[in-house]
Structure 1
């Protein structure tokens, strides 16, 4: 859940639903909090305060957190824009997949999925995840169906077993990975995923369905309690 656009009260409500409806064996919850280098203020404290005003004691034993300070890539000599002109090969990007946050926020193990606020579920935590790694909408397909689709994906299995995009070496033509260039990890992921589908005779990935805002609010709105 990206803090840039999602109100913190929504995040608090989702956390409360998660910890009250599922045990620690069913669902693990993590919050990654990045602070700017100028003030180093973390929104996690605002989130905790908001949660406790609405629901009571914050579930520290259920919500795991990481707190780091964001540093712009331009601050690091090896990461200046002049050194990253967008002409890096797909092969170089895929060999470093899952390490993309290390220069700025430290070594970080990405969660294995991204759930957008409208229910779309992707098998990667990056906000720029390609549509080829989308496996359904939580509100229309259900979590079990989505997980079954993800588990049946041969491309995703190779990525997981290989520790990132490097797991796709040998599944797409080497000429493609060594000659095609792009500007980042997510762009290389999209190119590799599309090429994998093409090589294996699969149809191109289509965008996941979006639940309209009105319908989404209806699904999220708590049911009115009935009189005893």
Structure 2
């Protein structure tokens, strides 16, 4: 059996600092108090504080300048989509905004895929769609569904669409277990997605766009109901 990971004091402090930053207790552009004062305030050592700082610098929330101090980064102005998983974990309201982008980008990708997909990619899409129907449980259906969308992005021939697709899925990964509503029945999930694949493999760009938008709206509604 694999041992479960244990939360360390650095994990706890990182989470506390992240929450304080995202809740605005440490506003964007402001400098944090001196390390000794901050460590005393959180009841940790300066070494623990430095480790937590390092993680938050890597996450894009802090920036440290030697001899100057540690400043809260304006993530809303300077940050990238890689921050989304962290933001969704902090506030589930971000999911609504992620889904709005998912709808627009997903429909655009389906239309591009219909115009550009090769015969080999058509065959891959049909195979991946069948895997949705054959999946054993809601979690497996959800993951199989994701692979269809990754294949649609690849079929556009534009690698940026692939990265955007990955980013959007990663964004709601922290709450994925709450979003299984559309995937509880493999046959229904398959049939819901089949119209998108059919339009793409037929090369019908307009129908592919419309089918993808309808699919994304329907699944979004079910998933948001699950979150509520």
TM over 0.5: no
Query: Greater CA radius of gyration, 1 or 2?
Result: 2
Higher relative contact order (CA 8 A, sep 6+): 2
Length-normalised TM-score, structure 1: 0.30
Question: Quick check: which one's strand share is greater?
Answer: 1
Length-normalised TM-score, structure 2: 0.30
Question: Quick check: which one's helix share is greater?
Answer: 2
